[in-house]
């Protein structure tokens, strides 16, 4: 396959991330298409016919794990890499069983993703030696729910089942590194 035939479908609800990834892949000769949801990716996958797919697992609506086999059915020649901020051994095993060639934890650079595409289904999934701390997972979850509620503190507190003041205190703290 020549570089002019290489197409990558980026499926992630983080638009800033997909814009950065799109530019990086385009600099390396890929045609890119970004979708913010699994449903959107499924709709355009057949027409776009990607050779590579980068799929986030944790998105609003349909989960990336549910969309994974459907995307591969729509683009059977595509190599799919799962890229997630919520890594676990269970999801890594499930993703590779469903057809992903590799499983990476965010943050990952373009070069790391391209190397992951070269992996085979027999390549063990990459799960970090040091898993993300519970505090960091909580921080990221709060940020996601806050974003889903358009920055509304009261709605976010209700969605998380916590008092609004508790949520405000947690938001005033700096994010935990790992």
Distance CA 90, CA 67 (A): 17
Q: Is residue 73 included in any domain, yes or no?
A: yes
Entry pTM: 0.65
**Burial degree of 86 (CB within 10 A; 0-12, 13-18, 19+):** middle
pLDDT of 127 reads: 53
| pLDDT tens profile 18-76 | 899 999 999 999 999 999 988 889 888 888 999 999 999 888 888 888 999 999 999 98
Regarding whether 83 and 23 lie in a shared domain, the answer is yes
Contacts of 35 (CB under 8 A, 6+ apart): 9, 10, 11, 41, 44
Regarding whether 79 and 21 lie in a shared domain, the answer is yes
pLDDT of 130 reads: 65
**Residue 29 lies in domain:** 3-117
Distance CA 32, CA 9 (A): 6
* CATH code (residue 63): 3.40.50.2300
Instruction: Tell me how many domains the chain contains.
Output: 2
Regarding whether 103 and 15 lie in a shared domain, the answer is yes
Distance CA 117, CA 114 (A): 5
- Mean pLDDT confidence for 95-106: 88
pLDDT of 177 reads: 63
Q: Is residue 106 included in any domain, yes or no?
A: yes
Regarding whether 156 and 74 lie in a shared domain, the answer is no
């Amino acid at each position: 396959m020549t570089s002019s035939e290489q197409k990558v479908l980026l499926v992630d609800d983080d638009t800033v991330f997909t814009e950065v990834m799109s530019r990086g892949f385009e600099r390396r000769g890929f045609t890119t298409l970004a979708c913010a949801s699994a449903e959107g990716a499924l709709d355009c996958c057949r027409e776009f016919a990607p050779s590579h797919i980068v799929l986030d697992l944790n998105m609003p609506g349909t989960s990336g794990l549910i969309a994974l086999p459907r995307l591969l059915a729509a683009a059977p020649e595509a190599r799919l890499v799962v890229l997630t901020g919520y890594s676990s051994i269970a999801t890594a095993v499930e993703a590779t069983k469903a057809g992903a060639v590799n499983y990476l934890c965010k943050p990952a650079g373009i070069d790391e993703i391209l190397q992951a595409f070269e992996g085979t289904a027999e390549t063990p999934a990459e799960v970090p030696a040091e898993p993300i701390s519970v505090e960091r997972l909580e921080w990221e979850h709060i940020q996601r729910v806050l974003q889903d509620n358009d920055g509304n503190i009261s709605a976010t507190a209700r969605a998380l089942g916590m008092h609004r003041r508790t949520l405000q205190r947690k938001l005033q703290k700096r994010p935990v590194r790992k």
